[in-house]
Structure 1
Amino acid sequence: MQKMERIKIIGVDISVVDFNSAQKYLFDNFEEARGHYICAANVHTTVTAHENSNYREVQNNSFMTLPDGKPLSVVGKKRGKSSMGRVTGPDFLEEVLKRTENTEVRHYFYGTTQENLDSFISAVKKSYPNLKIVGVEPSVFRSLTVKEEDELLERISESQADFVWIALGAPRQEIFCNKLSSRSNAVWVAVGGAFNVISGVIPRAPQWMQDHGLEWFYRFMKEPRRLFKRYFVTNSKFLWYLFRDKGEK
């Protein structure tokens, strides 16, 4: 297996990929990816990883850490990685579903609330009626006991899932994948709010805003109180850390 190229951004290893190359690398190396996990990194997760060495290790030990946030791919391009482009969690998930719909590949979905998960599964079945869904479970919104972890892994094993999609929110979901993925034969993917985006529970920004890296502003306008700290405080930290480490390669 050819090792995935990565670039270090404020101490976090981000994969040098775009949408197409990320999919190609995954499917070209699918058997090697089993028992490992994929992260979708943005400014929030990158700053969190920069400030927390344990979480940084989780991010850096992934099979791939996708540049979900536009600023990450922009930094990569400025550092000479011209092939780097944004790869969002929802887009990555939908493309995998599309590619595997008429195959024997099996999918297990874990996370969000039962109501939102029901909406997501309904949308998936409508768009990909031939997709093999072998497990669907909502989050319990707390840490699992050892017994619960063992039981979840047993259910995943019995389902013979090839993909386990985890939507718990960062940093919990990446830590969850790091802890459990190696005890399975599936590829685990931490996709954050992708379930809610695909189901329409969370509206996506217009394409032009996504293309110009303004999706964060669209979300902020929808939920200003909840997202103020994440987008303004965290973004300011990111710029400061980036300036401080501007010589980093």
Structure 2
Amino acid sequence: MINLGKFPVLNVNVAAVDYDYATRAILDAARRGQPFSVSALAVHGVMTGFGDPEHARRLNGLDLVVPDGQPVRWALGWLHGKRLPDRVYGPELTLRVARALAEEGLSVYLYGSQPQVLERFAADLRRRFPGLKIAGMEASKFRRTTPEEQQAIARRIRESGADVVFVGLGCPRQEVWAFEYRELLSRPILAIGAAFDFHAGTLAQAPRAMQNLGLEWLFRLMQEPRRLWRRYVLLNPLFVWNLLLQLTRLRRFQVPFPDGTERQELYG
């Protein structure tokens, strides 16, 4: 079990942890009925915080941001000497948490995506983990909810008795949701995005070799070029450039927090 601490990748604090630590932290919070918001970020997720200080505050207000993408894992090693044996890939973390919930008789609520995806995702989870209790499911409204709707959603989730919430709204909407609902729900929230579609079988995952080489973005770009080209063709080089600036200390990034403070990055 690995927990080396949190370290800034550009202006987002990423936790240098492994699957075992992340799973245990989520389960510990579930047992205690405590708020605990988690997101698995790849390059695109980090760059949403880099380009928007307000969103960076939200990301840094989450309890745990894990390195979903290989380049984010490598960045922890290059910048801070924190070399992890593997990334903490959101779809894989989802399965590990679901397995642990099933073993302990705890339940999960699925929020986001579309009704048909939720049904297929739930069926896949039940097939893999027959003891898993799915307390409820609710599709995304695909728009900003009103304060009244937000309260109603939180009430439905609380009344379902769910111990953990899986959220799949896409980045950065799901991280905003995890931040805003943290105190409303007082239970762990895991923002896992494409894991809903991957495990529902509606979106193909990159081959393992491409994942290990940090080329999952290329596989997804080939799948959906019109939708994703800006994300990868523009943001990936910008990420690398700013990573080099941070590595050479030609630029120091401020790390904004929800309390309004901004702290200089710290090097391990």
TM-score range, shorter chain: over 0.9
Aligned to 1:119: 120
- Structure 2: runs of 5+ lacking an equivalent: 253-266
Aligned to 2:200: 199
- For 1:26 and 1:133, how far apart are their aligned partners in 2? 17
Distance 1:25 1:4, change over 3 A: farther
Aligned to 2:56: 56
Show CA shifts across 1:192-213 (max 9, x none): 1111011111111111111111
- For 2:29 and 2:21, how far apart are their aligned partners in 1? 12
Q: Please tell me the root mean square deviation across aligned C-alpha atoms, in Å.
A: 1.8
Show CA shifts across 1:206-237 (max 9, x none): 11111111111111111122111111101011
> What is the one-letter code of the residue matched to 1:89?
G
> What is the one-letter code of the residue matched to 1:174?
E
The structural deviation recorded for 1:23 is: 2.1
| Residue pair 2:90, 2:195 contacting (<8 A) in 1 also | yes
- For 1:36 and 1:129, how far apart are their aligned partners in 2? 25
Distance 1:91 1:132, change over 3 A: same
| Residue pair 2:38, 2:191 contacting (<8 A) in 1 also | yes
TM-score by length of 2: 0.87
| Residue pair 1:164, 1:188 contacting (<8 A) in 2 also | yes
| Residue pair 2:15, 2:65 contacting (<8 A) in 1 also | yes
Runs in 1 of length 4+ with deviation above 6 angstroms?
Answer: none
TM-score by length of 1: 0.93
Aligned to 1:154: 155
Aligned to 2:238: 237
- Is 1:20 paired with 2:20? yes
> What is the one-letter code of the residue matched to 2:98?
L
User: Which stretch of the first structure deviates more once superposed, 186-195 or 120-129?
Assistant: 120-129
| Residue pair 1:134, 1:159 contacting (<8 A) in 2 also | yes
| Residue pair 1:163, 1:187 contacting (<8 A) in 2 also | yes
| Residue pair 2:40, 2:90 contacting (<8 A) in 1 also | yes
> What is the one-letter code of the residue matched to 1:131?
L
> What is the one-letter code of the residue matched to 1:166?
V
The structural deviation recorded for 1:32 is: 6.5
| Residue pair 2:62, 2:178 contacting (<8 A) in 1 also | no
Show CA shifts across 1:171-190 (max 9, x none): 11111111112122310111
Distance 1:84 1:144, change over 3 A: farther
Report 1:182-221 matches (<5 A): 182-221=183-222
- For 1:142 and 1:4, how far apart are their aligned partners in 2? 38
Distance 1:193 1:24, change over 3 A: same
The structural deviation recorded for 1:191 is: 0.7
Aligned to 1:132: 133
The structural deviation recorded for 1:30 is: 4.8
Aligned to 1:75: 75
Percent identity between the aligned chains? Answer: 31
- Structure 1: runs of 5+ lacking an equivalent: none
SS in 1 for 2:104: coil
> What is the one-letter code of the residue matched to 2:141?
V
| Residue pair 2:75, 2:243 contacting (<8 A) in 1 also | no
| Residue pair 2:74, 2:83 contacting (<8 A) in 1 also | no
> What is the one-letter code of the residue matched to 2:5?
E
SS in 1 for 2:103: coil
The structural deviation recorded for 1:36 is: 2.6
- For 1:66 and 1:32, how far apart are their aligned partners in 2? 22
| Residue pair 2:136, 2:160 contacting (<8 A) in 1 also | yes
| Residue pair 1:162, 1:185 contacting (<8 A) in 2 also | no
User: Which stretch of the first structure deviates more once superposed, 230-239 or 84-93?
Assistant: 84-93
Aligned residues: 247
The structural deviation recorded for 1:82 is: 2.0
Report 1:169-188 matches (<5 A): 169-188=170-189
